[in-house]
Amino acid sequence: MNKPDLPAGLLVFERGWLSANNILFAEGEETLLIDSGYCIHASQTLALVESTLGARQLDILINTHLHSDHCGGNAALQAQYPALRTLIPPGHAKQVACWDAAALTYLPTGQLCPPFKFTETILPGKFMRFGSTWWEVHAAPGHDPHSLIFFEPGTRTLISADALWENGFGVVFPELEGEDAFSEVAATLDLIESLSPLTLIPGHGRVFTYTPQVLGRARKRLEAFVSNPVKHARHAVKVLLKFKLLEVQRQPLDDFVRWASETPYFLQIRDKFFASEPLHDWIRQLCQELVAADVAKGEGGYMLNA
């Protein structure tokens, strides 16, 4: 397969699944980075940016949305580049301004995100200059109600964040909180189809060439979740467990189960979808399913990332 063409001066740092991909624009009057990864990878994010920019400063940081794997490096970048302007979607601006880690979901999910500040919000329906090219800003609710995606019509390049991956899309978190968001995922997929991109830069995974089959896989996955919301909830819990394993790499199984059992988001999902199952047994069963899927290992009373 031919390597997808990208706009001039655009570099993609493909990260592991604990950190979202970083997109760096190194040409033009101002340098710009989209998404900063997870906080425990902040030193790697800084090294990637500095090795590319050299003596140049990073001028602008933009977050597609405020999940911890997309903005966890914000604080480190702001410390390294004091004049950095940080732009975030408007939906959680108030919570960032007063740093409400509960409302931002970092405390409920048991995830880490050092406090950061923002300069202004970035609104859908606008054009913004990223490096040497102009990009359309689009709302992409579903995975996150405030998420944004960016489209460059000249090369038909789409920065799709977690709205569309090569083999699916991100967990639809509002559905786990009692909101109707599957329909928003469908609308976002329709939007992406209407943009007719050639190249997609996803929030996770490699840059790839768009085909109708990509959207077809995403819609088939969505249909499965719509017809069986419990399946989606079970998938979501395993994603959150895997995320923690990516962070800690290795932990005694009893401690891992205890952590999950005391983490509010797991309790919320269990009460809504799995209330009849004993809590610790439910978590242990999910851990066994991760091991059976070869995305975790169980050895000597420990849970290990795989």
Q: What is the pLDDT of residues 250-271, one digit of tens each?
A: 999 999 999 999 999 999 999 9
- Residue ending a domain, among 209, 226, 243, is 226
Residue-wise pLDDT tens digits, 17-56: 999 999 999 998 999 999 999 999 999 999 999 999 999 9
Least confident of 2-16, 135-149, 195-209: 2-16
In a domain, 177, yes or no: yes
**Rounded distance between C-alpha atoms, residue 87 and residue 122, angstroms:** 6
Question: Does 2 have pLDDT greater than 60?
Answer: no
Domain region containing 70: 10-226
Q: Are residues 18 and 95 in the same domain?
A: yes
- Residue ending a domain, among 226, 256, 289, is 226
Domain count for the chain: 2
In a domain, 3, yes or no: no
- Residue ending a domain, among 199, 226, 253, is 226
DSSP state of 168: B
Q: Which amino acid is at 252?
A: P
Question: Does 4 have pLDDT greater than 80?
Answer: no
Question: Does 170 have pLDDT greater than 90?
Answer: yes
pLDDT confidence of residue 3:
61
In a domain, 29, yes or no: yes
Question: Does 84 have pLDDT greater than 80?
Answer: yes
Q: Are residues 188 and 41 in the same domain?
A: yes
pLDDT confidence of residue 1:
43
Q: Is the pTM of this model over 0.85?
A: yes
pLDDT confidence of residue 8:
87
Q: Are residues 105 and 26 in the same domain?
A: yes
110-126 average pLDDT score: 97
Q: Are residues 138 and 191 in the same domain?
A: yes
Q: Are residues 258 and 216 in the same domain?
A: no
Which runs of consecutive H residues, i.e. helices, occur in the chain? 42-53, 68-71, 74-80, 93-97, 106-109, 173-176, 182-195, 212-227, 229-248, 253-261, 264-273, 279-292
Q: Which residue has the tokens 């085909």?
A: 211
pLDDT confidence of residue 202:
98
Q: Are residues 27 and 136 in the same domain?
A: yes
